[in-house]
Amino acid sequence: FGHGHVAANPYRFSEAFSRPDPSGDMVEIPLPTFPVLRLPAATGILTRVAGRAWTLAALRRALRTGDAQYYFHPYELGPRPRIRLSLRERLFLRRLGPWMEEAVEAIALRLRSWGARFVTAGELAAAVSAS
């Protein structure tokens, strides 16, 4: 993150990680970054902490130039643990469950309205490898 030379969309690479190489045998599917600061954006934790607008801005920018991913953990859709947590842990685990489920649904609806398609990481990697 924060490196201007790193590709924003999925690409093939070989030895020089973060440097596209069409003949490479590996595929990187980078996380979209927030347009101005190039900080990670399209993840569950950042959706929960920074909000949907942060995530949608990054996804919209990434989709203008190619494919993108949105990554979240299944636990984020479940309830927050009912245990004593530090301030840092409370921040990290805020907005779990119904809030996050609603956010993922809203993000998916917005992506569909932009014409985005939904595929697995394996399908996306295969498509990058075939191109």
Q: Is 48 exposed, middle or buried (0-12, 13-18, 19+ CB in 10 A)?
A: buried
Structure tokens at 56: 């949608």
Q: What is the pLDDT of residues 6-46, one digit of tens each?
A: 677 788 887 766 667 777 778 888 888 877 777 788 899 99
What pTM did the predictor assign?
0.79
**Domain locations along the chain:** 31-130
Q: How far apart are CA 113 and CA 98, in angstroms?
A: 23
Q: How far apart are CA 115 and CA 126, in angstroms?
A: 21
| pLDDT attached to residue 55 | 92
Question: 20 or 91, which is more confident?
Answer: 91
